[in-house]
Amino acid sequence: MTAGPRRRVGVLALQGDFREHLAVLTGLGAEAVPVRRARELAEIDGLVVPGGESTVMDKLSRAFGLREPLRDRIADGLPVYGTCAGLIMLSDRVLDALPDQRTLGGLDVTVRRNAFGNQLDSFETELDVPVLGAPPVRAAFIRAPIVEEVGPAASVLAALDDGRVVAVQQGALLGTSFHPEITGETRFHRHFLGLL
């Protein structure tokens, strides 16, 4: 029996912690490549949109001519995993967005930016994520968004003890409020690779 083709996964490398995602994906056996140009979207089987600053990522995606091609690929079914700011970028609706802020859309959710406060309010916690099994996921929240509403097309994968939703999935689109890539947690990336 021969192994299947190695998956080529892009990481949007305009801003944010894209290097950490490239390292995790490579460690899991994927061919991980940075994506900065629209033409590179045709060469990937999936995409990770990293944490960072969603407003800056939005502006840079427009400046680099990536926004519309990205929206088109997502609408055509490209598997995408967004962490923190990446979750905001994938959300259909954003509360407290800047007046000119736009998203890529695709996830039928409403998110609130910086829902936990500023950098000083960052924290780590353990999350039960049934789709990933035991043990709990170690999750780092850094100026993280929260999912305020989950539309009928999306499903909740994880919530905090108080019920606030922090991980969602809709088909081949995956979003987390937190950063698994900085706590040594690889199961969300492995789950994402299984969607390709």
* 114 touches 96 (CB < 8 A): yes
Q: What is the pLDDT of residue 5?
A: 62
- Note the pLDDT tens digit of each residue in 154-189: 999 999 999 999 999 999 999 999 999 989 999 999
Q: Return the percentage of the chain with pLDDT > 70, whole number.
A: 95
Number of residues that this document lists for the chain: 196
Domain encompassing residue 179: 8-193
Q: What is the pLDDT of residue 2?
A: 38
- Note the pLDDT tens digit of each residue in 73-120: 999 999 999 999 999 999 999 998 888 889 999 999 999 987 776 665
Q: Does residue 120 fall inside a structural domain?
A: yes
Pairwise CA distance, residues 84 & 98, whole Å: 17
Q: Does residue 76 fall inside a structural domain?
A: yes
Pairwise CA distance, residues 106 & 75, whole Å: 7
Q: Return the percentage of the chain with pLDDT > 90, whole number.
A: 81
Q: Does residue 3 fall inside a structural domain?
A: no
Q: Does residue 70 fall inside a structural domain?
A: yes
Pairwise CA distance, residues 98 & 89, whole Å: 13
- Note the pLDDT tens digit of each residue in 16-56: 899 999 999 999 999 999 999 999 999 999 999 999 889 89
- Tell me the three state secondary structure of residue 109: strand
**Mean pLDDT across 61-78:** 94
Q: Does residue 129 fall inside a structural domain?
A: yes
The residue with tokens 């996830």 is 107
Q: Does residue 1 fall inside a structural domain?
A: no
- Tell me the three state secondary structure of residue 99: coil
Structure tokens at 116: 């936990």
Q: Does residue 21 fall inside a structural domain?
A: yes
Show the CA angle centred on residue 79, arms to residues 96 and 156, nearest 5°: 55
Q: How many domains are there within the chain?
A: 1
Q: Could you tell me the pTM of the whole model?
A: 0.93
Q: What is the CATH number of the domain that holds 89?
A: 3.40.50.880
Contact residues for 60 (Cβ-Cβ < 8 A; gap 6+):
14, 15, 66
* Residues with catalytic function: 84, 179, 181
Count CB neighbours of 48 within 10 A.
28
Q: Does residue 2 fall inside a structural domain?
A: no
The CA-to-CA distance between both ends of the chain, in Å, stands at: 20
Q: What is the pLDDT of residue 6?
A: 73
